[in-house]
Structures are given as C-alpha cells and as structure tokens.
Structure 1
Amino acid sequence: MAAPIEPYERASLELERPIQSSSHRILLSPVREVNDEIRSESIIRPAVEGVGQLLQVNRDASRSAARKYYLDQLDERNAVILFRCTGRDCGRSNVWANQIFNEARLYGRDINQDYLAAAYKDTDGVLHLVLVYTVTRGNQREYVWVEQLTTGPDAVVPGFSTGSARIRGPVIVSWSGGVTFQFDYDAAARRQLQEWSAEPGSQVLLNSYTVLGDDQSLADAMDRARQAADSLATLLGKSGVSREQIVPVIIGPAVRFEDPSRQGNRIEVKVVSQP
C-alpha cells in the first residue's frame, strides 16, 4: 500500500483523528444547510478507514502554499481531482467546520476557504480518497484539515475511472431542452475541464446519453444526444477548449448504469492525455 502523504512541513499538527466508518460522508459539490440538514448535490458514503489531521499553518507560510503542497503530492500519485471549490462557491464555512468535519477551529470567513476531494489507486490497486480543506480564521490564523482514506474495491466514486491513468473524468454535465439546451455546468467543473484539456495533445470526449421517451423513436433519441453534444462543444469552445480537441461519442439510450449519479439526459466528459 502507498505511504500516506506527509503533513505539510511548515505547519504544526494540532490533532490527529482515526476515521473508520461504514458510511463516511464525502461531498463532491458545494454544501448547503436547509432546516438543519446538510444538502449537497453530490454526496458519496463509502466504507472507509484512515485518518484526519488538523494542521495550523506557520505564520511565515500560507494556506495557499499548503494547498499547493497537497496538490503536488496528489499529482505525483496521478490522482484525479473529483471536486474543487474556492471561497463562497464552497458554501458556508460554519457548515464545513461544525457539520462536515466536526472541528470548530476550521470556522472562518466564507470568502477565505477552499476544498478539494481527490482519488487515486496505488500500485497494489488500493483506492485512496484524499480531502483537503483550508481556511483563514477571523484572527488571521490559517488551518488545514486533511483526510486520507482507503476504501474497498467496489466503492462507486463519481468522476474516478479505474482504467488508464491517461483518462480523466467523467465530469457529468446534465442537460435539458431540445431546440436549445441548458447545461448544469458550474464554475468548478469548468475550471477542472480547462485544466485537464490544457495539456498538449489532450482530447475531450463528450459521451452523450439520453433517456428514451415512451413515444420517442430511437433515431430521435440519438439525434437529441448528437445535438446536445454539439451544443456543449460550442459552450466548451467559449471557455478555451479547441473544437479540434473535442470527440463526440453518441450513446443515447443504448447504455444504462446502476449508479444513481449516472442517470438521465447527460454528457459525461472525459479527457484523454497523450501517451
């Protein structure tokens, strides 16, 4: 099994908490609190074991440097970033601190926080999940919370493929409409695809799925999937993804998944890097 990522060296370890759970809550989208309930569009609850660490960043360092350290370590392990957010896009810091991580020292200003969730497989085939949350408190002290977890081989992790490390994604983009299309394509997903597709020679696969209506022909369903892929390709072009990089894969209703996050009219975007 791969050695865990060492704590950021320019920080002090304030707390280390063992984590062992048959249903550990991991958020892959911004958090909201509605009537004292945690709401997030994408939450997984795998069985995990591992450790959580609370770090206080030294005054001569910064949480941005700490975040970069963990991103570099994840990159060395060919990890896939499942979700990333910054500032108010993450939701309320109070909820992350007291409801998600159960650590009051992580409560800071909503604008001064960030979060990422990542996954990678080590050389033994063990799936690792890594969560990194950083925040600046009102007294200007900066903290980092890191969870390093392992989970079973049957765990379903949206956005992580067990195949080639050259294939990143999918980023799942739900859509609605017909003549014109509306896409559920937030800023975090846009930044993620921009980063992946910026690598020289990378190709962007648009795997387009549709639901077959009761009164709809297969040809019509396939045509809607094709039009949705063309519309998303145009949208991606406006955010810097070259049309020459894009490869539409029209699947329509031909393939079904049990995973609840992979249902309905959607385009699953994957990025394939050069060998």
Structure 2
Amino acid sequence: MGFWVHKKLKNILFGLGVFLGICGNLSAEGFDFVASGLSLEKATTQAADKHPMPLSAIKRVSNRLMIESQTDVVGTRSNYLYRVSEATSLDKAVGYYKELLSDQGRIEFACEQRNCGASNHWANDIFGNRNLAGRDSDQSYFAGRLDDGVHQGWLSVYAVTNARRIDYIYISFIPAPPEDYVADAKRGVLLGEAVLSKDWAKALGDYLQANANAKLVVVAFSKPVSSAAQLGNSIESSAEYGETMLVAAREAIGVDGSRVELRSMGMLGQRPLGFNAQDWAYLYLVD
C-alpha cells in the first residue's frame, strides 16, 4: 500500500526544511560519529516530535509525492550537513556510515542513483535544502537503527554530488525513545553507562517485574590474544569484567541475582567499532 504525502503535509515539510536552513547556528546533539575528510557546514535540531523517516524511494504520481514505506520516530532530531573535502571521496564517506550502521545496528532501507527517485524531491521536499539537489544518478540514501552501546536511535544518510559538482552528505539522527529500550535489549546492547542510566534501568526493571520468566544475560569478551598460552588469561579477564558489569546492572535495575546470569566468552567476539578497552560486555533480555 502506498503512502500519499498530502499537499498540506508537503507544505509543512517544505516550510520546516526552510526553517532549519536558516537556523544553522543551533547546536545539534546526540550523534558524534564523523567520517574522515568531512567538513561540517550546518548543524540543526528539530524539537521533540514525531519525525518521518523514509524507508522507500520517493515517487511522484499524478503530481503527488508518494512514499511507500516510512517509520515515524518520536524524539529530538539532529541534522548535519557535511561537505566532502578533497582529502577523501564521497564513496569512502558513504562506506564509513554504511559499515557503522551494518556493524552497530541494521540497515532498514537503502537505494542508489535513480532507484531512490528524484534527487530534487529529496533535497527540497524531504530535507528542505536545495544544495542537496543533483543528478538522480549521483545520489544514494540509506536508513536504519543504530546501537553502539552509547548511541541508540534512527540514522539516515543522504549522499549526493549536487548540480554544482560539490559532494555533500546529509545526516539525520533521532535517539531511541524510551519505549524502544526493551526491544533493543532483546537484540543485545553494549553494556555501559548508557544502559545503566535511569531510563534504561526503569524500562528493564518494569519488564522483569511484569514477566516472571524473563532474565538478563551478561555476555563478556576480551580482546584477541596472540598465543594459546594467553587464552586462559583472556577468559579470566572477561569473566572478571563480566562479573563487575553484572553486579552494576543488577544494582542499577534492582533485581536479585537469580534474574541475572553471566557468560564469559574470552576472545570469541569482535570488538565493537571505535571501542578500545581491553574488555567489553553485552546485555541481553531473554524471555
């Protein structure tokens, strides 16, 4: 079933885009991953609201825009316009964010070139930034959920070589709302300060209280070792770290030891992107 963008809604989206374009001095918070060689030209924020995130190409049928699939995300939306410098390339920058989202989340939709629809519609009707308009063959877009243990939310990336042959990347990020915490924990989240925060602890505590058979599993890892002789040390290190994080999670969430268990995996896991510590752990909510 297609989703038709009502004319009034289109005008609201366009007006909002223009508003964001003139408010480039607003600070944008919530997302701090920047690919090498990008220069920030504008950072803007949209107040907490329900923001549409397109998950399909944009089509114009009978003079109306149609988006076949989208998700509406509630939260504060941060938008970043980056210019790609000569020190890198648009393909490399796009590859950075695709790898980030693939490794630390999941891509829900991706398109390239003419399969995305008209670049002019993305630039003017969706993002409200005419600098993003280029040839339909010189664009790409992807969106999905990000979760690196620190940042949880929806990320979209639009890349284009515009009509003036300038390479731009436009990024939007919306932190995950509280109602997503339980779903995220069931997929597994990197255990750290963010997961031990008040909002996370309350959401998980409430779920455990309402579901007697549910439990939390802490899965701990250590960085790879160079010899078989060090394997035992790796397992011991992950076990000690996991026990520390298990206690921290149990105290923050307010559950007894019977609802939390530890699994020490040693070096049998890939270290999270951008994570340099010796040990790390993931938290899973299991029914």
Q: For the superposition of Structure 1 and Structure 2, which TM-score range results when normalised by the shorter chain?
A: 0.5 to 0.7
- Following the alignment from structure 2 to structure 1, what is the Cα–Cα distance between the partners of residues 36 and 162? 20
Choose 1 or 2 for highest CA Rg.
Answer: 2
Aligned to 1:82: 108
Is 2:66 the counterpart of 1:39? yes
Aligned to 2:210: none
Q: Which runs of 5+ in 2 are unaligned?
A: 1-29, 190-287
Q: CA deviation at 1:145?
A: 0.1
Extract structure 1 runs of 4+ deviating beyond 4 A. none
Offset from partner CA, 1:112-160 (integer Å, 9 cap, x none): 1000001033547x741100000011222100000111132336xxxx9
- Following the alignment from structure 2 to structure 1, what is the Cα–Cα distance between the partners of residues 178 and 64? 30
Q: Contact 2:42/2:81 (CA < 8 Å) preserved in 1?
A: yes
Is 2:131 the counterpart of 1:105? yes
Tell me the number of residue pairs that the alignment of Structure 1 and Structure 2 aligns: 160
Amino acid in the other structure paired with 1:151: A
Q: Contact 2:73/2:174 (CA < 8 Å) preserved in 1?
A: no
Aligned to 2:119: 93
Is 2:174 the counterpart of 1:149? yes
TM-score, normalisation: structure 1: 0.52
Is the alpha carbon distance of 1:154 and 1:24 closer, same or farther for their aligned partners in structure 2, counting shifts above 3 Å? same
Offset from partner CA, 1:188-247 (integer Å, 9 cap, x none): xxxxxxxxxxxxxxxxxxxxxxxxxxxxxxxxxxxxxxxxxxxxxxxxxxxxxxxxxxxx
Aligned to 2:158: 133
Offset from partner CA, 1:20-40 (integer Å, 9 cap, x none): 242211100111134554311
Is 2:146 the counterpart of 1:120? yes
TM-score, normalisation: structure 2: 0.50
- Following the alignment from structure 1 to structure 2, what is the Cα–Cα distance between the partners of residues 47 and 147? 13
Larger helix percent: 2
Partner of 2:178: helix, strand, or coil? Answer: coil
Is 2:29 the counterpart of 1:6? no
Q: CA deviation at 1:85?
A: 0.3
- Following the alignment from structure 1 to structure 2, what is the Cα–Cα distance between the partners of residues 39 and 162? 34
Amino acid in the other structure paired with 2:176: T
- Following the alignment from structure 2 to structure 1, what is the Cα–Cα distance between the partners of residues 115 and 44? 27
| Among 151, 158, 164, the residue aligned to 2:187 | 164
Is 2:51 the counterpart of 1:28? no
Aligned to 2:88: 61
In terms of mean alpha carbon deviation, does 29-38 or 134-143 score higher? 29-38
Partner of 1:52: helix, strand, or coil? Answer: strand
Partner of 1:45: helix, strand, or coil? Answer: strand
Q: CA deviation at 1:45?
A: 1.7
- Following the alignment from structure 1 to structure 2, what is the Cα–Cα distance between the partners of residues 6 and 121? 12
The percentage of counterpart residues that share the same residue type is 27
- Following the alignment from structure 1 to structure 2, what is the Cα–Cα distance between the partners of residues 6 and 122? 11
Partner of 1:89: helix, strand, or coil? Answer: helix
Provide the aligned C-alpha RMSD in A: 2.7
Is the alpha carbon distance of 1:121 and 1:61 closer, same or farther for their aligned partners in structure 2, counting shifts above 3 Å? closer
